[in-house]
Structure 1
Amino acid sequence: MSRETEDVREAIAGELRLMDPRVRMSRTLARQLMDPDFVEVGASGRRWTYDEMLAALSGLDGGAEGGPRYEPSNFTGVLLAPGLVHLTYETTSDGERARRSSLWRKQGPSATWQMYYHQATPIPPDSM
């Protein structure tokens, strides 16, 4: 497996872990997957910082064991530079669809991949 393939695979695994309600309900687990410089532009257009997201994550969609969960599809990823992966994919949750883009970075050989930036764009119901 190439370094690029392995890095992309690890970033996708991190993305999927962040969709897990057990991770979303645990600041400790979420903190391990989010870069301290994290920023998100959500599907609502709201800008989220690292601290805001950690505080709100358990109450957002996908945060409850029995509630709606994100169903991801069509993952693609590319290694932009050593330690920087760009992912794109789509999600469906409770009938709502969104296109998503994330940057994952790994700072140093012993570091883990962490989400640095995330953006969600709603897909209109009549769109492909």
Structure 2
Amino acid sequence: MPTSTTTEMPTQDDCDIVKDCELALLHGAVRGDRTSAMLLLHKDFHEFGASGVVWDRESILDMMEAEAADGPVDIKAVDVVTTALAPGVVLVTYDSVTPTRRAHRSSVWVREGGRWQVRHHQGTVTAD
């Protein structure tokens, strides 16, 4: 499957890969596997969480690992949209739905060293 370089606009294949990576981060198997999650999170990752907490890479890895250890992770993504923003940059937007809340989500993914990684994530709680 051909993908673009960081000097070209992301292709549909790139957007599909990024979508799959985003969705993988919602699964307990990835959230609970620090090595797998680290591969998807940029070294300078940060998140403005729906909870109001600001996370960096290490703190979000700790949180995801603890969450997965506590039991099944039940996060659904609905209305997922990917948009190529610039060479080597893809935006993903969707709503996350858990048993206790719904939130608008956006992630900015960048291609570095041939790998797509999430650089920034934002969550905003919304009414059901």
Per the alignment, residue 118 of structure 1 pairs with: 121
> Partners of 1:119 and 1:67 in 2: how far apart?
23
Which of residues 53, 56, 65 is equivalent to 2:60?
A: 53
Unaligned runs of 5+ in 1: none
Tell me the secondary structure at the aligned position of residue 18 of structure 2: helix
Per the alignment, residue 67 of structure 1 pairs with: 72
Distance 1:64 1:90, change over 3 A: farther
Q: RMSD of aligned C-alpha atoms?
A: 1.9
Distance 1:11 1:59, change over 3 A: same
Q: CA deviation at 1:9?
A: 0.7
What pairs up with 1:6-17 in 2 under 5 angstroms? 6-17=13-24
Distance 1:37 1:25, change over 3 A: same
Aligned length: 121
TM-score, normalised via structure 2 length = 0.86
Percentage identity across aligned positions? 33
> Partners of 1:4 and 1:123 in 2: how far apart?
31
Unaligned runs of 5+ in 2: 4-9
Q: Does 1:87 align with 2:92?
A: yes
Q: 1:71-107 deviations in whole A, cap 9, x for unaligned?
A: 1110111111111000100111014111100001102
> Partners of 2:75 and 2:127 in 1: how far apart?
17
Q: CA deviation at 1:51?
A: 1.1
> Partners of 2:24 and 2:106 in 1: how far apart?
16
> Partners of 1:64 and 1:8 in 2: how far apart?
30
For the Cα contact (< 8 Å) 2:28–2:73, is it kept in 1? no
Tell me the secondary structure at the aligned position of residue 14 of structure 2: helix
